């Protein structure tokens, strides 16, 4: 395979340290992911096995045999999560030396609630637990740009570092989880959750990098990539492509439209926080839909991790900037010419004057919404602003979450961030 015992060129460790310091200081989550990926692209051609570490080399050999024997199990989970099977196997080896009686989350024994981070999770079946663990990292998977067929080792290393947590990069050192058993220097380790110790590292298992490079064939590179002087380049496959206010609004619409006809209507206390087109919620109501769409996009645009525009229409009618409110002095009648893409349109309940429904304006007199009732069902759909939606359930208010200047407004009209 591709892990050699001699580096293709000398590795400038001072540049690696400088790069880790730069990454540590990046504020935005998406940009930090991209920076770690760029660093990993640079490092992959340099990575070699530390053959002097006999314990790690013995463990690496066991891992290779384990993967060959259990490849089908990992492929099954891969198809259900969009994470490459080789990466799942490497994470499994780091967490529990490939023990199928333990959680992929953290290596705790199945059949009991987890006591290590993440705490309080309960599964009895390894596959179900593994799917849950990996689906908690959908955002990282999608920003990095991997799927079940990916062979990009640098992207998988990036996912693994986030899976384990950014404690190492926050200490400006290389991750033991990723680089153990390689020639990349290790300057400290988490020997238990939340407790980091600087100094010589004792680790008996290979890191994700050398495991992946031992089971994946990647094209040979004639020379290592250039050192990332400013580690912010686009890794190539990310959800965030458009810039500015109009681009952000378009992102809202594009995400919302991916759920048309895919999420049954149901009103209850369960509120999906984020929206993933590869794994739509089992059900949601109208305000759940608008809230989760905005929360997802504003997270992915690095505005804020957890912006909540409201749990129901009674809250959302006061969220964002006021554009129009029925009956207000000088408001005039409802007119789509005053609307911008992405605006929230609040409607009355049927034949009522009280707010009871919400959707997202698409432009051209259309809006997208989760429409239905618990008794009759329903789904996400696109409707025309005419007929029923002007006479039976009438527009009562229009609110703008993303203002023209890029400011983002949340509940009670409070500014919560800015589109970068």
**Segment 271-319, tens digit of pLDDT:** 888 888 878 899 999 999 999 999 999 988 888 878 999 999 999 999 9
Q: Where are the alpha helices (DSSP H) in 137-181?
A: 138-144, 153-164, 167-170, 176-179
Rg (CA), the chain: 25
Nearest Cα to 154, choosing from 230, 259, 73, 40? Answer: 40
Report the pLDDT value the prediction gives residue 191, as an integer from 0 to 100: 83
Contacts with 243 (C-beta within 8 Å, 6 or more apart), sequence order: none
Kindly tell me if the per-residue pLDDT of 72 is higher than 70.
yes
Structure tokens at 263: 């999420």
Alpha-carbon gap, residue 415 to 197, rounded angstroms: 40
Kindly tell me if the per-residue pLDDT of 143 is higher than 50.
yes
Nearest Cα to 218, choosing from 151, 277, 160? Answer: 151
Alpha-carbon gap, residue 172 to 14, rounded angstroms: 12
Mean pLDDT for 85-109 is 97
Mean pLDDT for 373-399 is 95
**Angle formed by the axes of helices 85-96 and 153-164, to 10°?**
40
Alpha-carbon gap, residue 378 to 393, rounded angstroms: 16
Report the pLDDT value the prediction gives residue 150, as an integer from 0 to 100: 94
Kindly tell me if the per-residue pLDDT of 370 is higher than 80.
yes
Alpha-carbon gap, residue 92 to 63, rounded angstroms: 10
Do 168 and 198 contact (CB within 8 A), yes or no?
no
Q: Where are the alpha helices (DSSP H) in 121-272?
A: 126-135, 138-144, 153-164, 167-170, 176-179, 208-215, 244-257
């Amino acid at each position: 395979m591709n892990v050699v015992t001699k580096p293709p060129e000398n590795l400038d460790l001072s540049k690696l340290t400088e790069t880790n310091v730069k990454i540590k200081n990046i504020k935005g989550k998406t940009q930090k992911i991209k920076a770690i990926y760029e660093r990993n692209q640079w490092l992959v051609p340099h990575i070699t096995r530390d053959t002097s570490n006999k314990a790690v080399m013995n463990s690496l050999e066991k891992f290779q045999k384990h993967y060959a024997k259990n490849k089908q199990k990992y492929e099954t989970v891969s198809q259900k999560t969009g994470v490459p099977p080789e990466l799942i196997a490497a994470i499994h080896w780091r967490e529990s030396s490939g023990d199928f009686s333990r959680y992929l989350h953290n290596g705790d024994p199945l059949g009991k609630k987890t006591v290590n981070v993440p705490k309080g999770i309960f599964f009895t079946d390894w596959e179900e637990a593994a799917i849950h663990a990996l689906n908690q990292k959908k955002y990282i998977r999608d920003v990095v740009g991997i799927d079940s067929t990916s062979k990009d080792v640098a992207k998988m290393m990036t996912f693994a570092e986030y899976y384990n947590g950014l404690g190492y990069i926050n200490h400006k050192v290389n991750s033991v989880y990723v680089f153990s058993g390689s020639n990349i220097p290790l300057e400290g380790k988490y020997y238990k959750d939340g407790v980091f110790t600087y100094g010589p590292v004792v680790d008996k298992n290979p890191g994700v990098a050398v495991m992946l490079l031992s089971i994946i064939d990647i094209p040979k590179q004639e020379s290592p990539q250039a050192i990332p002087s400013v580690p912010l380049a686009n890794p190539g496959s990310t959800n965030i492509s458009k810039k500015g206010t109009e681009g952000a609004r378009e992102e809202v619409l594009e995400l919302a439209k991916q759920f048309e006809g895919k999420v049954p209507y149901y009103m209850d206390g369960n509120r999906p926080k984020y929206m993933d087109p590869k794994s739509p919620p089992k059900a949601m109501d109208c305000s759940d839909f608008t809230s989760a769409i905005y929360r997802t996009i504003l997270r992915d645009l690095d505005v804020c991790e957890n912006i909540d525009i409201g749990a129901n229409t009674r809250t959302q009618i006061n969220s964002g900037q006021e554009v129009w409110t029925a009956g207000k002095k000088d408001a005039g009648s409802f007119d789509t010419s005053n609307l911008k893409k992405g605006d929230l349109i609040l409607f009355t309940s049927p034949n009522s004057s009280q707010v009871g429904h919400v959707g997202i304006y698409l432009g051209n007199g259309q809006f997208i919404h989760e429409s239905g009732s618990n008794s009759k069902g329903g789904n996400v759909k696109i409707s025309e602003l005419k007929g029923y939606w002007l006479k039976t359930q009438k527009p009562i208010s229009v609110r703008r979450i993303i203002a023209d200047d890029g400011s983002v407004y949340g509940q009670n009209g409070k500014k919560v961030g800015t589109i970068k």
